[in-house]
Chain A
Amino acid sequence: MRWIQLGEMDCRGIWGDDMEREDIRVAVVRIEGTNCERETALAFKRLEVFAEEVHLKQFYSDMIRDEDKRSLHDYHAVVFPGGFSAGDYIRAGAIFSARVRSVLRKDLKKFIGEGWPVLGICNGFQVLVELGALPAFDGISEKPEMALGINDSSRFECRPTFLKVENQKILFTRNLGKNVVMFPSAHAEGKVIFPSGREEEYIERLKENNQIVFRYVDRNGDYAGYPWNPNGSIYNIAGICNPEGNVLGLMPHPERAFHPVSHPEWTRNQQKDGDGKGFFEGIVSYLEKKV
Chain B
Amino acid sequence: MIAHVYIELKKGVADPEGENTKKALQLLGFDGVRDVRTIKVFRIELDELDEDQGKRKVEEMCEKLLANPVIHNYRIEIG
A and B touch in the complex (CB under 8 A): yes
**Knowing A193-B70, A195-B70, A196-B11 touch, does A151 contact B65 (C-beta < 8 A)?**
no
Interface size class of B (residues with CB under 8 A): 10 to 19
**A152 pairs with B70, CB closer than 8 A:** no
**B10 pairs with A150, CB closer than 8 A:** no
A99 to B71: give the CA distance in the assembly, Å: 21
* A282 interface hit (Cβ, 8 Å): no
* B66 interface hit (Cβ, 8 Å): yes
Residue with the greatest number of chain A CB neighbours at <10 A, chosen from B10, B12, B17, B68: B68
Interface string of A80-124 (1 = CB under 8 A from B): 000000000011001100100100000000000000000000000
Tally inter-chain residue pairs, CB-CB below 8 A: 49
Q: Which of A184-212 contact B (CB under 8 A)?
A: 191, 193-197
* A272 interface hit (Cβ, 8 Å): no
* B14 interface hit (Cβ, 8 Å): yes
Interface size class of A (residues with CB under 8 A): 20 to 34
* B27 interface hit (Cβ, 8 Å): no
Set B11, B13, B17, B19: member contacting A193, Cβ < 8 A: B13
**B63 pairs with A149, CB closer than 8 A:** no
**B68 pairs with A151, CB closer than 8 A:** no
* B64 interface hit (Cβ, 8 Å): yes
Determine the chain B residues whose CB is within 8 A of the CB of A101 once the complex forms. Answer: 64
Given contacts A195-B70, A196-B10, 18 further A-B contacts (CB under 8 A): A90-B65, A94-B65, A101-B64, A130-B68, A143-B63, A143-B69, A144-B69, A144-B70, A147-B68, A149-B16, A151-B16, A153-B16, A153-B20, A154-B20, A193-B70, A194-B70, A196-B11, A232-B16
3 nearest A-B residue pairs (beta carbon): A154-B20, A154-B16, A196-B12
